[in-house]
Amino acid sequence: MRDVFIVGVGLTEVGKRVDVALRDLAAEVVVKAMEDAGNEKPEAIVVGNMLSSLVEQENLAALIADHTGLRGISGFKAEGACGSGGAALLAGYSLVSSGLFDKVLVVGIEKLHERPTPDTARGLAYAADADYELIYGISFAGLNALVMRYYMDKHGVTREEMAHWAVMMHENAYHNPYAQLRKKITLETVINSPVIADPVRLFDSCPLSDGAAAIMLVSEKYRKLNDTPVRVAGIGNALDSPDLSSRFELDRFIAAKLSTDRALRMAGVSIDDVDVAEIHDAYSIVAAISIEEIGFAERGKAPRLWAEGRFRPGDKPVLNPSGGLKARGHPVGATGIYQVAEIAMQLRGDFPGLKVGGEVGLAQNIGGVGSNVTTVVLRR
Amino acid sequence: MTTIQRIWRLRNRLIRLSGTKCQDCGLVTYPPKAACPKCGSRNLIEIELPREGEVLTYTVLNIPIKGFEQYAPLIIAIIKLGEAKVLAQLTDVKPEEVRVGMRVQATIRRTAPTLDGVVPYVVKFKPIRGEEADLKEREAEALTA
């Protein structure tokens, strides 16, 4: 396998982007990533996206390539629910490391505000088991709520401890020009917010987001396209059951652990080496389990640690300086690309929000309720 | 919205509560799988799960997904049934009465219509109360039906 480098990144502001068509949102980040990579064109494009069928558009690779002057290159879309971005990175990485291509552009995009919210919410629930879960009308928030109650009961975690996560994410996002929710909140904001799916409250949840992100992956031959190339030192993906019923343990995401182990082993680094990470906090419960499966906290302890002030700038590791899915936002199929682009910028030193720096960074993108997880380790 | 095809395919499993049991490692799984999630064996048999169990965790949805609005607040639980766990709707109980560890039993009920307008029946779970209370409940149902 050949080494793979990030030589270009492009992000757009996350939010309600009804002003821009899908193809133009994609074009913005494709152009930014190419410009960041010395205006070099890719030989292939891989698109991470979950629900473009909601905007009646599939065949995204062709649409985006054609719209951005890349007609004739190779490409396809990769899907893994909320982990679609990670799936696209895994495919893009493989295309470069295998030697099939030297320059691959990985683009994540999602447009969730094109349809009424009930349609979008139903679409998001397609990440679950349609035959055995969706048939009862449970939403994606509901599935996470089942895990949250089980986890809090089992580990004796308090409502207030859980709430600290959202407060911290809003503090971090306040500085991020790409973030959707750039306002600080208090514990009371979280604890008094409306119940969506008991015990999940509005502020335990990420917002509905539109957004796009792009990353240019290249082989050694093209690493000089950027003055500060960042090496993709390790990448790992793992799958678990889309249904919750057949999970061995309801308070664990085994796929998050497996994908972390694979990425760390490939990178030849230990978890203690990680300076900064972007983790997948679609709900505060997902943040807790992700942190524990990665190995930043013991099982059942993550909320206590973040309530005590851990994982903030100055700590090691710093978690989600972007504001995370909670406050940067969660443009589903683009989220995994945002995370890796943000970590690359942290290591390069040019992230436009909270700068934390570091030598080793990690990003974890989770699809479904922990059923399709990609973990990426980056090194300066 | 679900389809009539899906309901028809699942009709036995959704009513009989079928799981699969691995003949090699003994793991019982719901939903049924084509191979064992633990050991990978394809040597599985379909078994009927017990119809009584206890609530492991639950949620109350103020906003169910589209098509299920009529059931709000919708109570969904993961129920321990023998060696398996089953995600299903709770019925005949108020949200504030639900508890982790509560004993429940399977009952066959209508659910949201399919895209084609067919009203399917699925298994839901209701609390196990005294037989007398149960009888009263059924009488009340018969009256309102």
pLDDT at B15: 86
| Residue B141, in any domain of the structure | no
Q: Do the Cβ atoms of B6 and A196 come within 8 Å?
A: no
The chain B residue lying nearest A125, using CA atoms, is: B65
Confidence of residue B36 (pLDDT cuts 50, 70, 90): very high
pLDDT at B145: 55
Residues of chain B positioned with their CB less than 8 A from the CB of A201:
none
Residue B130 has pLDDT above 90, yes or no: no
Confidence of residue B2 (pLDDT cuts 50, 70, 90): confident
Percent of chain A with pLDDT over 90: 99
Residues of chain B positioned with their CB less than 8 A from the CB of A122:
65-67
Percent of chain B with pLDDT over 90: 71
| Residue B59, in any domain of the structure | yes
The boundaries of the domain holding residue B28 are: 4-131
The H or E element spanning position A233 is strand A230-239
Residue A317 DSSP class? S
Closest CA to A139 of B74, B65, B86, B89: B65
Distances (CA, A) of A160 to A37, A149, A164, A203, A308: 45, 14, 7, 12, 11
pTM: 0.96
How many other β-carbons are positioned within 10 Å of the β-carbon of residue A358?
Answer: 21
How many other β-carbons are positioned within 10 Å of the β-carbon of residue A25?
Answer: 23
Residue B138 has pLDDT above 70, yes or no: no
Residue A378 has pLDDT above 90, yes or no: yes
* Strand, helix or coil for residue A66: helix
State which amino acid sits at residue A255: A
* Strand, helix or coil for residue B2: coil
What are the structural domains of chain A?
A: 4-116+209-230 (3.40.47.10), 126-208+231-379 (3.40.47.10)
Q: Do the Cβ atoms of B31 and A130 come within 8 Å?
A: no
Residues of chain A positioned with their CB less than 8 A from the CB of B77:
146
Closest CA to A160 of A117, A116, A204, A122: A204
Closest CA to A167 of A187, A183, A196: A187
DSSP letter for each residue of A37-65: TTTPPPSEEEEE-S-GGGGT---HHHHHH
Q: Could you report the predicted ipTM of this complex, rounded to two decimals?
A: 0.95
- Structure-token match 């396998």, residue found: A1
Do the beta carbons of residue B76 and residue B89 sit within 8 Å?
yes
Query: pLDDT tens digits for A351-369?
Result: 999 999 899 999 999 999 9
pLDDT at B114: 87
Query: Which residue among B56, B64, B122 sits closest to A139, beta carbon to beta carbon?
Result: B64
Closest CA to A110 of A118, A125, A120: A120
Q: Do the Cβ atoms of A138 and B60 come within 8 Å?
A: no
What's the rounded Cα separation, in Å, for the pair A113 and A19? 10
A330 min Cα distance to partner chain B (Å): 19
DSSP letter for each residue of B46-107: EEEPPSEEEEEEEEEESSPPTT-GGGPSEEEEEEEETTEEEEEEB-SS-GGG--TT-EEEEE
What's the rounded Cα separation, in Å, for the pair A61 and A268? 33
A143 min Cα distance to partner chain B (Å): 8
DSSP letter for each residue of A336-370: HHHHHHHHHHHHHT--SS-----SEEEEEEEETTT
Sign of the CA dihedral A65, A70, A75, A80?
negative
Mean pLDDT (whole number) for A129-154: 96
| Residue B21, in any domain of the structure | yes
Dihedral class, residue A268 (left if φ above 0, else alpha if ψ from -120 to 50, else beta): left
pLDDT at B133: 62
Query: pLDDT tens digits for A338-347?
Result: 999 999 999 9
Query: pLDDT tens digits for B48-97?
Result: 999 999 999 999 999 889 999 999 999 999 999 999 999 999 999 999 99
- Structure-token match 């939010």, residue found: A15
Instruction: Please provide the average confidence, as pLDDT, over all residues in chain B.
Output: 91
Mean pLDDT (whole number) for A48-65: 96
Query: Which residue among B31, B61, B84 sits closest to A138, beta carbon to beta carbon?
Result: B61
Chain A residues contacting B, CB < 8 Å? 118-119, 121-122, 125, 129-139, 141-142, 145-147, 149-150, 153, 194-200, 241, 243-248, 250
Please give the positions of A annotated as active site: 82, 330
Residue B132 has pLDDT above 70, yes or no: no
pLDDT at B63: 86
| Residue B136, in any domain of the structure | no
Q: Please give the torsion angle defined by the CA atoms of residues B127, B131, B132 and B134, in that order, rounded to the nearest 10 degrees.
A: 40
What's the rounded Cα separation, in Å, for the pair B4 and B8? 6
Confidence of residue B136 (pLDDT cuts 50, 70, 90): low
Residues of chain B positioned with their CB less than 8 A from the CB of A197:
59-63
Structure tokens at A220: 């050694």
Number of domains within chain B: 1
| Residue B140, in any domain of the structure | no
Please write down the long-range contacts of B115-118, taking CB distance under 8 Å and 24 or more positions apart.
B115/B1, B115/B2, B115/B3, B115/B4, B116/B3, B116/B4, B118/B4, B118/B7
B24 min Cα distance to partner chain A (Å): 17
Residues of chain A positioned with their CB less than 8 A from the CB of B122:
135-136
| Residue B145, in any domain of the structure | no
Residue A176 CA, chain-centre distance (Å), reads: 16
